[in-house]
Structure 1
């Protein structure tokens, strides 16, 4: 309950700040307009598109369906439906492994799918019977002419409002944590420690983020305002890379994480420009250089 209340509080603040960012209105649910990334999930906020909203089974697997809602300064949701639909395979032509097949010879028969739930197929084969016969066939003995249809999920709302409306929901495939990189030098130079934002996409597809904020409540090292030269030095020492095949644009500077601000007991770090994260990828950005004191004996 505390987490939901906190998310609602931060969401309201996000709505008030929408004018600062140009939010992309798109039906592609892998292009995320405004993202608030927590340690175990991410909250997505984007302009409401044409209803009903359509999600693929792959996208839906990463979405908390009970978190799907509409937000705005003046919106009243009167009804919401979530529907799973799949185009039926019934009456489509298929091929099945013939019951007369042997270990040395495999035969296939052309048939018609009658009931996809039971894999019941109608076959006409003179070697078996003059009349159509009906066989319940194991799934791995069925060959389809086209790729089988996958489920799609549709979300619809009935609502009343006089202002702009935004869609909000939680995704479990996007999270982040803090890493620290420590560089030790000879006694004449002070050691350097740099905080790194490790953002993880656990999903099966690449996602594109228009604007993001990292939120965390366990940043224990003190942050302080750096001089311009110190920021560049910190960036030179930072390791910025991605695991798997993440691709960074070489034509423009990479994204950077702003100095944190405290909101409702959490630290909030904004990322200054759009970025992309491939599937199963860690995307690591430098954050800040904390104040470090070491006592040498």
Structure 2
């Protein structure tokens, strides 16, 4: 089960699970590039070793077909995957192609990073990391009509990653937070959130609850589920007064 803690310029993602003694986690390239270096860790069980290996989208030696307008597909072997240098199997001549012109015989590997953990023992643990692709900020509305006025404050949660997050519980922190001081804040007794899915709210509109201050930060929580869609901003009111 996942938990999101959204700060003004980054987010902490935490996943609780029953971990085997040895396990692997795979992160697509666009996700791993947004993870703060050194923030990926396992809590609750001592880690013996942790190893990250880049898995390239290596097509070299694979058979592909080049399809171009008004031409028969050309069966080729990939010689270099970085610039798509191909060898025509029938003519033994070499050519280059664009990515959109290729048809694959087998599903190509996804480029990314595989992280292998070796733990002292199996058991319940938490995988956590910081990511810079999810942030939040407030915006304010003042509506004036004749002698009436209404003030509203909204929390804009922005997901600039290429993943959708279906959130069961999340927390918002406001204030000046630097990555190298994050560990000074207590985060041991909070709820969780699950992540995946489609881009809309789940059932009734969620509500933001103020939790007061924590180590000089303003702290809000959202206990109802909602979905934070890839490349989107989801807004909720957190102050509504006259």
Pair in the same fold by TM > 0.5: yes
Query: In 2, Cα distance between the equivalents of 1:61 and 1:246?
Result: 23
Q: Which residue of the partner structure matches residue 282 of structure 1?
A: 233
Matches within 5 A, 1:222-233: none
Q: Which residue of the partner structure matches residue 186 of structure 1?
A: 146
Pairwise CA distance, 1:162: 8.5
Query: In 2, Cα distance between the equivalents of 1:118 and 1:182?
Result: 54
1:272 matched to 2:223? The reply is yes
Query: Please, which of 36, 39, 59 is the counterpart of residue 67 of structure 1?
Result: 39
CA displacement, residues 8-46 of structure 1 (integer Å, 9 cap, x when unaligned): xxxxxxxxxxxxxxxx2xxxxxxxx11100111110011
Query: In 2, Cα distance between the equivalents of 1:87 and 1:134?
Result: 24
Q: Which structure ranks higher in relative contact order (CA pairs < 8 Å, sequence separation ≥ 6)?
A: 2
| Structure in which a larger fraction of residues adopt helix | 1
Query: Please, which of 193, 204, 207 is the counterpart of residue 165 of structure 2?
Result: 207
| Cα distance change of structure 1 residues 148 and 208 upon mapping to structure 2, 3 Å threshold | same
1:248 matched to 2:201? The reply is yes
Query: In 1, Cα distance between the equivalents of 2:79 and 2:122?
Result: 50
8 A Cα contact 1:93 1:144, kept in partner = no
Q: Which residue of the partner structure matches residue 13 of structure 1?
A: none
Query: Please, which of 164, 168, 172 is the counterpart of residue 132 of structure 2?
Result: 172
| Cα distance change of structure 1 residues 161 and 194 upon mapping to structure 2, 3 Å threshold | farther
Query: In 2, Cα distance between the equivalents of 1:275 and 1:105?
Result: 48
CA displacement, residues 214-261 of structure 1 (integer Å, 9 cap, x when unaligned): 00117xxxxxxxxxxxxxxxxxxxxxxxxxx94234xx4211000231
| Structure in which a larger fraction of residues adopt strand | 2
Pairwise CA distance, 1:280: 1.7
* Paired residues, number: 216
Uncovered stretches (5+) of structure 1, i.e. residues with no partner: 1-23, 25-32, 99-103, 219-244, 293-297
8 A Cα contact 2:77 2:89, kept in partner = no
Which protein is bigger by CA-based radius of gyration?
1
Uncovered stretches (5+) of structure 2, i.e. residues with no partner: 177-197
Pairwise CA distance, 1:194: 2.0
Pairwise CA distance, 1:199: 0.7
1:76 matched to 2:46? The reply is yes
Matches within 5 A, 1:26-175: 33-48=2-17, 49=19, 51-72=23-44, 75-86=45-56, 88-96=58-66, 109-117=74-82, 119-125=84-90, 133-135=92-94, 137-140=95-98, 143-146=102-105, 148-160=108-120, 164-175=124-135
Using structure 1 for the length normalisation, give the TM-score: 0.62
